[in-house]
Structure 1
Amino acid sequence: MLEEVEGIVQGHRDGHGFVIRDDGEADIYLPPNEMRAVLHKDRVKARVVRCDRKGRPEGRVVEIVERSNHVIIGRLLCESGIWIVAPEDKRYGQDVMIPKAATGAAKAGQVVVVELTEPPALFGQPVGRVKEVLGEIDDPGMEIEIAVRKYDVPHVFSEACIAQARGLPDAVRLTDKKHRVDLTDVPLVTIDGEDARDFDDAVYCEPAKIGRGKSAVSGWRLLVAIADVSHYVENGSPIDVDAYDRATSVYFPRRVIPMLPEKLSNGLCSLNPEVERLCMVCDMMVSPDGEVTAYQFYPAVMWSHARFTYTEVAAILANTRGPEAIKRKERVTDLINLHDVYRALLKSRERRGAVDFETVETQIVCDEAGRIEKIVPRTRNDAHKLIEEAMLAANVCSADFIAQSKHAGLFRVHEGPTPEKVELLRNFLKMTGVPLSIGDDPQPADFQAIAKATQGRPDTQQIQTMLLRSMQQAIYTPMNSGHFGLAFEAYTHFTSPIRRYPDLLVHRVIKAILAKSKYQLPTLPIPGEAHAKLSKRLEKNLASRVAQPGQKPRKLSVDMQAWQAAGLHCSANERRADEASRDVEAWLKCKYMREHLGEEYSGVVSAVTSFGIFVTLDAMYVEGLVHITELGGDYYRFDEARQELRGERTGIRFALGSRVRVQVSRVDLDGRRIDFRLLSDNEGLSTRSSKERDTSGSSEDKGQRTPGEAIRATQPGRRERQTGEPKPRVKSSKRAVSPKASEPEKSKTRKPRRRS
């Protein structure tokens, strides 16, 4: 009898789907006929009935275990007198029938939220009712309203939470200051972006002697003061329950969905200038070579002496006698001290070999109606780096403090690349002629050495992209195994409790250690479907670390299981926030590019797949697909090791970093897709001789395909050809790991964040 496995259905815009198995094994492909009676996010039992020619499992649904209760967002349409809702999320492969009596106040063309009343069947579509009317598709901010519901982002605080927030004081009370260090005379300052509204960290630095007598050296005393959210958000309180449910603030262009009510996030807990605020302080002694020789934590009350922006601080540091410095002359010396300690901390980073890539981040500038005015690169100056290094130092101290006390807590763990990704990266470096490589047990310094060795090359950005893709995503877990990218043995998040729940938990643990007690987590919900793969990954990692040869891995204690559940929840919700933010940005970019249909631009190939190339425009920082059918009448082979498409007849190569000229040919707003057409006047595309083409195939296919990490969420599927040219074929040089690996919809990308 064939094995039956449980999992969650994940639909695909092309009509088929996958079963994401609970056991973490390869996903099971479901053909379109198997998707007729199920919907995206349903829990099912499936049986593997065959494997395709590439060895990928294909299955059949044998039982629907649980229907998803997730609402569906879409456009209400009336076709021949029949009301339907076309789902905005194309992973729902069927329109939802809406009885006339169930349309409520909604009008045709409006965006609505639908609740299912009847599930789909083999020969019947799902039926639902309109639960909420969001408005017209072109209403300002509609893309955000869709995203928060599409990704199930909590965006309305509970009545109990609002009532408790309303009862909080408007300012620091005398009783709040008890048993706290008074730092109101220390000129702590905040340094943030121009558009920041909540300030959760303040810094101060002064020269200090480290050591005693003749052995003393000149170093610095660095104070990092963080908003003491835990003083106001009590364990298990209504505000705490809502904060845990959200786990993180979600940032959209022109709007933020905060983790905490505004009275806390922008008021009582925000380190606003010239008001008293409660804080937790990491007080460090930093040596000339950037090592933290001593530290201590304590609760304090502070007074922010200034609110600086990154741009302002960078200008002062660049010219200490300029107009910006004159306006802030009483703080210039403090900023110089901060810059000095930053340069010392930078030395420590270099010695550790921490990975530090110069990636291009972009900022979307919107008008009052929420439409994109322009997309500009966001440059990181010394002020950004100064704050980042100070926060890293405080986070490392907090991780060390928790580890030394042997108290349970959440660490921020970033593991090294998997063997499959190491092999793929090694082959890529070899094929691109990089003189350095990585071993079977790579270290962060190896990655940094490659990045430095390839600076100045035309494909520098692409090499760094491949280095980044080879790494795993960081997660929250009570099992510390270090941070690979930052080259720390222990690392956690302490510096942003206003916007991240793990930081709030770290504050509570530190306070418990200071009080010589133990922090007990409140009763937390058991991780659900979103955590299955993370849970499997953690179990495997734990087993590999604690199991001795011939022994079974030890089980986690009840306390550690609770911490693991909290880590899984926070990690999954961090992914959810990132996906929602990317979805809104993709929608805005598509709407922006609709105004530029037919226009021509230069760009660079930012990703290569078996079905085409992704091109990022120089002028707009927008990415779109040149489908394989638009590359001309040649047969193209996808070389995974070189990350290129190569024409067998012409020898034309489309590789990472290739410069091309394209025309904006199509924009699909619903599918978040932008299509480009390759222009005939392209120059600089590499060609190979026929001899090279004949011999180059023998050394390809060394790696295993990663599940499309290079591909953005705005990928299109294959579309109908609109030209009379012969249809090209693509030959993939390596079979995919699973059906999902070769599908555009399943791919993801990571966006660099301001602070690690």
Structure 2
Amino acid sequence: MSQLPDKERLAAFIRENPDQAGKRELARAFGLKGAQRIELKRMLNELADEGVIERRAKKSFAAPGQLPPVSVLIAGAPDANGDLFATPQDWDRDEPAPRILILPGKGPAPGEGDRLLTRVNPVTGEDHQYLGKVIKRIGAGPRRMLGIFRRAHDGAGRLVPVAKGDQREWVILPRDAGEAENGELVEAEQISDGPQRRRAIGLPKARITERLGAPGAARTFSLIAIHEQGIPDAFPEEVEAAAEAAEPVEGLKGREDLRHLPLVTIDPADARDHDDAVAAMPDPDKANKGGHIVWVAIADVAHYVRPGGALDREAIKRGNSTYFPDRVVPMLPEALSADLCSLVEGEDRPCIALRMVLDETGELKTHDFHRGIMRSPASLTYEQAQAAADGRPDPATEPHLEVLAALFAAYDCASIARERRQPLELDLPERRIRLDEAGAVASVGFRERLEAHKLIEEFMILANVCAAETLEARRRPLLYRVHEVPGEAKLDALREVAEGCGLTLSRGQIPRPALFNRLLRQAAGSDFAELVNLSVLRAQTQAYYGPDNLGHFGLNLRAYAHFTSPIRRYADLVVHRALIAAHGWGNDGQTGEEMEGLKDIAEHISFTERRSMTAERDTNDRYLAAYLAERVGNEFEGRIAGVARFGLFVKLDETGADGLIPIASLGREWFRHDADAQTLTGEDSGRVIGLGQRVLVKLQEAAPVTGGLLLELLEVEGESGPRPRGRNKAPRKKIGGAGIARAKAKRKPRRH
């Protein structure tokens, strides 16, 4: 008869052999019979009572928190490397659920939210605790949607989606409505009682999963966008814990002491973090007469966010911070983004700093990077810096006038080189939505473009160029910021707009920013200036991140990378790590695994950037619709900014908001859409309505939940608009829109 194992050996066997942890299997494994089995049962009960092991179904045991060999998992979304992780479906312990890496198998890959019957095996030394092999998929992830709940008398109701263009309603049965109130904004997921039941109802069914409050309440518009775009807005406990556990850098520890440099931060007044600081001084080198030394110091986020850690996984998942009028969804927890990583005035902070030497013509002579400790003497706003430069200092800027004077002198010098380089010079006002204390829109205006803005922008561009060139010289893989040359189709569309405005865009030339700048100068000061700027912007390709250097067309630069905002962009953190590895500054630099995964990282963070842009734009649209809702019936001036088969898009002068004039409201005739010329032409009257024309419209409807504005056309270029269908009035005078636009443009003097 075999000898009974002691409790320590028994517990170790259960941990190492979870598939043999039933009483029968354990007795067989240790060769126990008769009375020994009774003693085994006693030992197992004692171990369970002591919390060393846990009782499981079917008379089996497991180490605390250990998953059964076959478990039901919920699949997550693929990460930046394309790997798919899952978590246990039934996890009720206090500690974070284990991560399970799903191994590739035959058939389609599981989707986010899918329920998977999976065989799991524990692993050690990885950033995940198990490997999982899918046995079968036992349920697809439900479709989720946001909407307004409309409750009926019997307790059931309908879900009206808030997404633009989604007209399908969903049935909510009483048992699936929970405590949601009529008119409340909710999140719901699709459910089904089978095809017969669904056909009988006639509409798909859904279950309310979360109540989000009154749809028109302050600060709900950004929440809608966050849910709609799937932006992670709550940090997991392990990520918050990692951020809270981070400690300030003490001493130099191999860093350079840069605290003597007057590195000031210059940011918007509402900035929540400060990740860049600048300083400048005349170059004392007599061989560089009239030259300048410029320092750009950037928060050393890589010191705190190490590759593969919890903070890193969450940062790459988010890709970037997302900014709304009422909130920020940060890439990093506040303990880092607003404190330890932020270049706070008067506090020692780790940084990666760049020293650049410019000659008197603004050309970059030399540059070198340093890893150091800095202490900013001042945290200023753009407005403060500009006022000081204009001779109107305040108590905060008075002690730093010499520093600011040196910065503006260096910027004037750098501007000479910028003018020679001829980057794309778009002039588009940036809309600014101000909220009151209750979160409602107080005003809508446009941000003033100051020289202080341009100063910081120019020094950040130079720093990004230096980062790319340094890494190329040291043969380190990096992520480039890529902006490709516009395609012929977009150039042809822009040419149509230019000709419609009485301007010219030369044919047959190699596209360069200077070509577009000539067009922009032609339009400057005319009624078409904003339209042409918008059209030039639309003609550009969308910038993205990539490991291959394809240049930056808009900035007219051969090599460009993002280095200056690692608190809010993961791309910059990748570049920081590459610089750390290239200079041999420590063990927190670029890893081999990160180098191999750059392509996947680039694709993922390009996606998260587009996701944030969409969420920010949609939120602004909702705030503007809420702001204008009280002015339904009022008349507004604007310009046709888009022409589609279904109607006209108008940008209102006062707020920059975009509204739709449905084609059905334009008149009693059919309109022919010309996508190339961006016009609608009446089949009977021959009236032409086209891009860029000035219009007077009436606001018919403003829907804050969707951000939609519905407009009625009153006048085009000062003449009465088409007669709406159904009105028995004499025909209006025919409007030759494109011809009028060309004629007016030709009569106006052009600026060159």
Report TM bin, short chain: 0.7 to 0.9
Q: How many residues in Structure 1 have an aligned counterpart in Structure 2?
A: 594
Residues 1:178 and 2:253 aligned together: yes
Residues 1:381 and 2:450 aligned together: yes
Which residue matches 1:744? Answer: none
Q: How does 1:10-29 map to 2 (within 5 A)?
A: none
Which residue matches 1:308? Answer: 380
Which residue matches 2:522? Answer: 453
Given that 1:96 and 1:125 are in contact with CA atoms closer than 8 Å, whether structure 2 keeps it comes out as yes
Which residue matches 1:202? Answer: 277
1:279-305 deviations in whole A, cap 9, x for unaligned? 110110111211111111111111111
Residues 1:394 and 2:450 aligned together: no
1:216-244 deviations in whole A, cap 9, x for unaligned? 43211000000011111111111111111
Output the CA distance in 2 between the equivalents of 1:66 and 1:655.
Answer: 50
Residues 1:603 and 2:634 aligned together: no
TM-score, normalization by structure 2: 0.74
Residues 1:100 and 2:174 aligned together: yes
SS of alignment partner, residue 218 of structure 1:
coil
Output the CA distance in 2 between the equivalents of 1:355 and 1:570.
Answer: 25
Moved more, 443-452 or 154-163: 443-452
Q: Specify whether residues 685 and 308 from structure 1 end up closer, same or farther in structure 2 by C-alpha distance, changes over 3 A only.
A: farther
Which residue matches 1:60? Answer: none
1:55-104 deviations in whole A, cap 9, x for unaligned? xxxxxxxxx99955452222222336333322222555543333322323
| Residue identity in the other structure for 2:266 | I
Q: How does 1:433-512 map to 2 (within 5 A)?
A: 433-439=502-508, 441-512=510-581
Q: Per-residue deviation at 1:635?
A: 5.0
Given that 1:251 and 1:581 are in contact with CA atoms closer than 8 Å, whether structure 2 keeps it comes out as yes
Given that 1:235 and 1:522 are in contact with CA atoms closer than 8 Å, whether structure 2 keeps it comes out as no
| Residue identity in the other structure for 1:414 | H
Q: Specify whether residues 129 and 685 from structure 1 end up closer, same or farther in structure 2 by C-alpha distance, changes over 3 A only.
A: closer
Q: Per-residue deviation at 1:437?
A: 1.5
Given that 2:546 and 2:603 are in contact with CA atoms closer than 8 Å, whether structure 1 keeps it comes out as yes
Which residue matches 1:336? Answer: 405
1:350-383 deviations in whole A, cap 9, x for unaligned? 2122101111111001112221121101111100
Q: Per-residue deviation at 1:636?
A: 3.8
Q: Per-residue deviation at 1:105?
A: 2.8
Residues 1:137 and 2:197 aligned together: no
Q: Specify whether residues 240 and 206 from structure 1 end up closer, same or farther in structure 2 by C-alpha distance, changes over 3 A only.
A: same
Given that 1:210 and 1:285 are in contact with CA atoms closer than 8 Å, whether structure 2 keeps it comes out as no
Residues 1:674 and 2:679 aligned together: no
Given that 2:694 and 2:716 are in contact with CA atoms closer than 8 Å, whether structure 1 keeps it comes out as no
Alignment match of 1:78 (pick from 120, 138, 151): 151
Output the CA distance in 2 between the equivalents of 1:726 and 1:295.
Answer: 73
Q: Per-residue deviation at 1:722?
A: 7.2
SS of alignment partner, residue 86 of structure 1:
strand
Q: Specify whether residues 84 and 640 from structure 1 end up closer, same or farther in structure 2 by C-alpha distance, changes over 3 A only.
A: closer
Q: How does 1:196-345 map to 2 (within 5 A)?
A: 196-209=271-284, 212=287, 216-319=288-391, 322-324=392-394, 328-345=397-414
Percent identity between the two aligned chains: 34
1:647-700 deviations in whole A, cap 9, x for unaligned? 46656543333222211112233442111112259616899xxxxxxxxxxxxx
Q: Specify whether residues 621 and 206 from structure 1 end up closer, same or farther in structure 2 by C-alpha distance, changes over 3 A only.
A: same
1:301-354 deviations in whole A, cap 9, x for unaligned? 1111111111111112122xx343x75333112212211221222222221221
1:712-743 deviations in whole A, cap 9, x for unaligned? xxxxxxxx967568999xxxxxxxxxxxxxxx
Output the CA distance in 1 between the equivalents of 2:398 and 2:188.
Answer: 59
| Residue identity in the other structure for 1:135 | G
Given that 2:384 and 2:397 are in contact with CA atoms closer than 8 Å, whether structure 1 keeps it comes out as no
Moved more, 83-92 or 589-598: 83-92
Q: Specify whether residues 323 and 602 from structure 1 end up closer, same or farther in structure 2 by C-alpha distance, changes over 3 A only.
A: same
Q: Specify whether residues 568 and 327 from structure 1 end up closer, same or farther in structure 2 by C-alpha distance, changes over 3 A only.
A: closer
Given that 1:654 and 1:686 are in contact with CA atoms closer than 8 Å, whether structure 2 keeps it comes out as no
Moved more, 225-234 or 201-210: 201-210
**RMSD of aligned alpha carbons:** 3.1
Output the CA distance in 1 between the equivalents of 2:729 and 2:665.
Answer: 9
Q: Specify whether residues 86 and 642 from structure 1 end up closer, same or farther in structure 2 by C-alpha distance, changes over 3 A only.
A: closer
TM-score, normalization by structure 1: 0.73
Given that 2:387 and 2:393 are in contact with CA atoms closer than 8 Å, whether structure 1 keeps it comes out as no
Which residue matches 1:187? Answer: 262
Q: Per-residue deviation at 1:139?
A: 2.8
1:111-169 deviations in whole A, cap 9, x for unaligned? 22223333885836433322221122233212222221111000010111011112122
* Structure 1 stretches lacking a partner, 5+ long: 1-39, 44-63, 525-558, 688-719, 729-756
Output the CA distance in 1 between the equivalents of 2:226 and 2:600.
Answer: 23
Bigger relative CO (Cα 8 Å, ≥ 6 apart): 1
Output the CA distance in 2 between the equivalents of 1:499 and 1:296.
Answer: 24
Moved more, 512-521 or 78-87: 512-521
| Residue identity in the other structure for 1:317 | A
Output the CA distance in 2 between the equivalents of 1:71 and 1:663.
Answer: 36
Q: Per-residue deviation at 1:455?
A: 1.9
SS of alignment partner, residue 300 of structure 1:
strand
Q: Specify whether residues 392 and 594 from structure 1 end up closer, same or farther in structure 2 by C-alpha distance, changes over 3 A only.
A: same
Which residue matches 2:472? Answer: 403
1:557-598 deviations in whole A, cap 9, x for unaligned? xx55x1110001000000111111111111111122110011
Output the CA distance in 2 between the equivalents of 1:66 and 1:726.
Answer: 63
Q: Specify whether residues 453 and 602 from structure 1 end up closer, same or farther in structure 2 by C-alpha distance, changes over 3 A only.
A: closer
Given that 2:319 and 2:570 are in contact with CA atoms closer than 8 Å, whether structure 1 keeps it comes out as yes
Alignment match of 1:572 (pick from 607, 612, 627): 607
1:239-295 deviations in whole A, cap 9, x for unaligned? 111111111111011211111110111111111111111111011011121111111
Q: Specify whether residues 574 and 504 from structure 1 end up closer, same or farther in structure 2 by C-alpha distance, changes over 3 A only.
A: same
Q: Specify whether residues 375 and 723 from structure 1 end up closer, same or farther in structure 2 by C-alpha distance, changes over 3 A only.
A: farther
SS of alignment partner, residue 206 of structure 2:
strand
SS of alignment partner, residue 558 of structure 2:
coil
SS of alignment partner, residue 199 of structure 1:
coil
Q: Specify whether residues 509 and 108 from structure 1 end up closer, same or farther in structure 2 by C-alpha distance, changes over 3 A only.
A: same
Output the CA distance in 1 between the equivalents of 2:139 and 2:470.
Answer: 44
Residues 1:621 and 2:690 aligned together: no
| Residue identity in the other structure for 1:78 | R
Q: Specify whether residues 673 and 234 from structure 1 end up closer, same or farther in structure 2 by C-alpha distance, changes over 3 A only.
A: same
| Residue identity in the other structure for 1:173 | E
Moved more, 119-128 or 506-515: 119-128
Q: Specify whether residues 614 and 127 from structure 1 end up closer, same or farther in structure 2 by C-alpha distance, changes over 3 A only.
A: closer
Given that 2:345 and 2:379 are in contact with CA atoms closer than 8 Å, whether structure 1 keeps it comes out as yes
Residues 1:347 and 2:419 aligned together: no
Q: Per-residue deviation at 1:603?
A: 2.0
Output the CA distance in 2 between the equivalents of 1:521 and 1:100.
Answer: 54
Q: Specify whether residues 487 and 684 from structure 1 end up closer, same or farther in structure 2 by C-alpha distance, changes over 3 A only.
A: farther
Output the CA distance in 2 between the equivalents of 1:504 and 1:119.
Answer: 48
SS of alignment partner, residue 679 of structure 1:
strand
| Residue identity in the other structure for 1:482 | G
Q: Specify whether residues 521 and 433 from structure 1 end up closer, same or farther in structure 2 by C-alpha distance, changes over 3 A only.
A: farther
| Residue identity in the other structure for 1:454 | A
SS of alignment partner, residue 216 of structure 2:
coil
| Residue identity in the other structure for 2:493 | L
Moved more, 435-444 or 365-374: 435-444
Q: Specify whether residues 407 and 610 from structure 1 end up closer, same or farther in structure 2 by C-alpha distance, changes over 3 A only.
A: same
Which residue matches 1:51? Answer: none
Moved more, 339-348 or 242-251: 339-348
| Residue identity in the other structure for 1:147 | A
| Residue identity in the other structure for 2:319 | A
